[in-house]
Amino acid sequence: MTTGSITSYRSDMRAGRDGFAQLLRAEWTKFTTVRGWVIGLVAGALVIVLLGLFAAASSHATCNGQACNHSVPVGPGGEAVTDSFYFVHRPLAGNGSITVRVTSLTGGSTSHDLGGPATAGLQPWSKAGIIIKESIKQGSAYAAMMVTGSHGVRMQYDYTGDTAGLAGAVSTASPRWMRLARSGDTITGYESANGTAWTKVGTARLAGLSPAGQAGLFATSPAYTQVTSQRLLGSGGIVGPTLATAVFDHVSLHGTWPGGAWRGSLIGGGASSVYPVQGGGYHQAGGRFTMGGSGDIAAAVAGAGNPGRAIEHSLVGAFAGLIALVVVAAMFITAEYRRGLIRTTLIACPRRGRVLVAKAVVIGAVAFVAGLAGAAAAVTLGERLLRDNGNFVYPVTPLTEVRVVAGTAALFAVAAVLAVGIGAILRRSAAAVTAVIVVIVLPYILAVPHVLPVGAGQWLLRITPAAGFAIQQSIPQYPQVSNAYTPSNGYYPLAPWAGFAVLCGYAALALGLAIVLLRRRDA
């Protein structure tokens, strides 16, 4: 017997590389070799495009039987703005200042005349004061000091800037003194309660402000809106213009004011106005000006009062595409449990945490690509279609457009990771798919078309993974602009990246728990 001569088998095969890249490659091969998964992913991308184009195609803006093609003014920052007010103005050449006292700001709805309810009085953001503006052209740069309906004295500039001054309402007993001083392209706002003790409110640098500008008094009052119904693809409501009336005196000017006399101009009013505007006017008696104005000087926001469409209007199909994706992503792991294939996987890759991470990376990457393709096509084609149908599409910076499109792709990627995590925890296809849809798609469906009351819907969009949809919001929310900032108007309760972070948190939690359980459980 020659037991000593037994030689253990030694392979002459070269050992392969061992590392995370090999795991990724294996998971990639797994994904691409199941045709149903690839088809599901492509279907998810197509659903985004098709539903998006359907939404864009069914969104017509018709004015007297024709496409409206509203021209909405664009501010210095490239954003759409509302620039409608009554302006009593004179040219200001070079440096100088204007000082006034406001003793009254009152309001009254004029929508009664238009058949609407006559309930709206002074609006919280009705405003009157002094303004230095590049020109009387809508959308031109400006800085202004103003009293408001219920937000006290403010200094505002270039449609998005807003600084608070003295609080409290204006009245004869409690008047407000305000001053704007221009030096080059810098304008400083001051306020005073008595005309002697002055406080600086803020400074605005209006880059490229030309020396020849228009300055004077203004009054305006934003549209009254009452939301009556909200649907997935839009909202219905009563919208009416409002009017604010202000009384000014103690007008004093310093510097070079070459015009010689005050002129009254209705900025942005008239029949072609997109924003509901009543009109306005003024009369002067001695040093006392009484003027009424309607409209707003602020960034345009998407809502019942505004006919425009945000670019993400054509991403309405994202939730449906997400359903297809979630099914594929959950199956990517649960199918292994169903067949016992998970054991083969863990025999090949005993380091279990890395297996799950590799799976998450692969499904996240393919979901990102699918989401990117779907969202880019939907937004690009949808934008064109919306314009062709006479809609005004809110202009956004290229960076914002990239954030909306790539953010939708990232939403898909992170949702896929969440699905893999939940799939690994539950180990059952049906349960995992249901769970993921319940936590991410259902809250969106309940909140955005307002199946639930606005408040409840907003809470869902704060605390569930559906918060991630906020990444699609392209038009910012401004506290100084009255609007129904509801999900159906495209406004999420959390800022885009904050909402996305909530989703990421859930995905990380699910994946982390899945890794712990995978390590602990017998396979």
Partner 1 sequence: MDSRNSFGADRPGGRPRESGIPGTAPSLPAVPSLPGMEATIEVTDLRKRFGPAVALDGMSFTVLPGQVTGFVGPNGAGKSTTMRVILGLDAADAGSALVGGRPYRSLRHPLSHVGALLDAAALQPSRSARNHLLWLAHSQGLTAGRVDEVIGQAGLASAALRKAGGYSLGMRQRLGIAAALLGDPPVIMLDEPFNGMDPEGIVWMRGFLRSLAAQGRAVLVSSHLMSELQDTADHLVVIGRGKVIADTSVAALIAAASSGRVTLRTTARPDAMTVLANTGATVATAGRDTLTIAGLAADKIVAPLGESRVPFAEVSAHRATLEEAYLELTRDAVEFRAAAASGGPGASSPQSDSKEAAR
CB of 435 to partner 1, least distance (A): 22
Q: Which two tokens stand for residue 411?
A: 């939403």
30 near partner 1, rule: CB under 8 A: yes
- The correct pick among 72, 80, 301, 349 for binding partner 1 (CB under 8 A) is 349
Distances (CA, A) of 489 to 55, 235, 305, 456, 500: 14, 7, 11, 16, 19
Quote the CA–CA distance of 136 and 145 in Å, as a whole number: 17
Phi/psi for 230 (5° steps) reads: -135, 135
- The correct pick among 343, 397, 402, 453 for binding partner 1 (CB under 8 A) is 343
- The correct pick among 35, 207, 261, 285 for binding partner 1 (CB under 8 A) is 35
Quote the CA–CA distance of 444 and 435 in Å, as a whole number: 14
DSSP secondary structure letter of residue 230:
E
Q: Residues binding partner 1: what is the number (CB under 8 A)?
A: 46
CB of 364 to partner 1, least distance (A): 18
CB of 424 to partner 1, least distance (A): 15
Check the CA dihedral 14-353-328-401 and report its sign. Answer: negative
- The correct pick among 63, 93, 348, 430 for binding partner 1 (CB under 8 A) is 348
- The correct pick among 341, 438, 451, 516 for binding partner 1 (CB under 8 A) is 341
516 near partner 1, rule: CB under 8 A: no
- The correct pick among 137, 205, 283, 339 for binding partner 1 (CB under 8 A) is 339
Q: Quick one: which of 135, 217, 204, 140 has its CA closest to 178?
A: 217
Q: Which is nearer to partner 1, 7 or 194 (CB)?
A: 7
CB of 330 to partner 1, least distance (A): 15
Rounded to 10°, the helix 318-339/398-426 angle is 30
**How far is residue 406 CA from its own chain's centroid?**
15
Among 174-182, 223-231, 344-352, 396-404, the segment contacting partner 1 (CB under 8 A):
344-352
2 near partner 1, rule: CB under 8 A: yes
Q: Which is nearer to partner 1, 3 or 194 (CB)?
A: 3
Locate all alpha helices (DSSP H) within 58-139, ordered by sequence. Answer: none
CB of 367 to partner 1, least distance (A): 19
Please work out, in degrees rounded to the nearest 5, the angle formed at the alpha carbon of residue 315 by the alpha carbons of 313 and 316.
75
- The correct pick among 10, 65, 196, 261 for binding partner 1 (CB under 8 A) is 10
DSSP secondary structure letter of residue 64:
T
CB 182 within 8 A of CB 132: yes
39 near partner 1, rule: CB under 8 A: no
Quote the CA–CA distance of 502 and 509 in Å, as a whole number: 11
CB of 324 to partner 1, least distance (A): 17
The secondary structure element, H or E, covering residue 89 is strand 85-109
- The correct pick among 261, 285, 347, 399 for binding partner 1 (CB under 8 A) is 347
8 near partner 1, rule: CB under 8 A: yes
DSSP secondary structure letter of residue 393:
B
Strand spans (E) along 280-410: 281-285, 288-293, 297-299
- The correct pick among 346, 381, 445, 513 for binding partner 1 (CB under 8 A) is 346
- The correct pick among 43, 74, 335, 501 for binding partner 1 (CB under 8 A) is 335
CB of 3 to partner 1, least distance (A): 5
13 near partner 1, rule: CB under 8 A: yes
Phi/psi for 173 (5° steps) reads: -75, -25
Quote the CA–CA distance of 426 and 285 in Å, as a whole number: 78
3 near partner 1, rule: CB under 8 A: yes
167 near partner 1, rule: CB under 8 A: no
Q: Which is nearer to partner 1, 92 or 515 (CB)?
A: 515
Among 33-41, 56-64, 66-74, 427-435, the segment contacting partner 1 (CB under 8 A):
33-41
Quote the CA–CA distance of 420 and 372 in Å, as a whole number: 20
17 near partner 1, rule: CB under 8 A: yes
Where residue 336 falls (left for φ over 0; alpha for ψ -120 to 50; beta otherwise) is alpha
Q: Which is nearer to partner 1, 173 or 347 (CB)?
A: 347
Interface residues with partner 1 (CB under 8 A) are 1-13, 15-19, 22-23, 25-30, 33-36, 335-336, 339-341, 343-351, 522-523
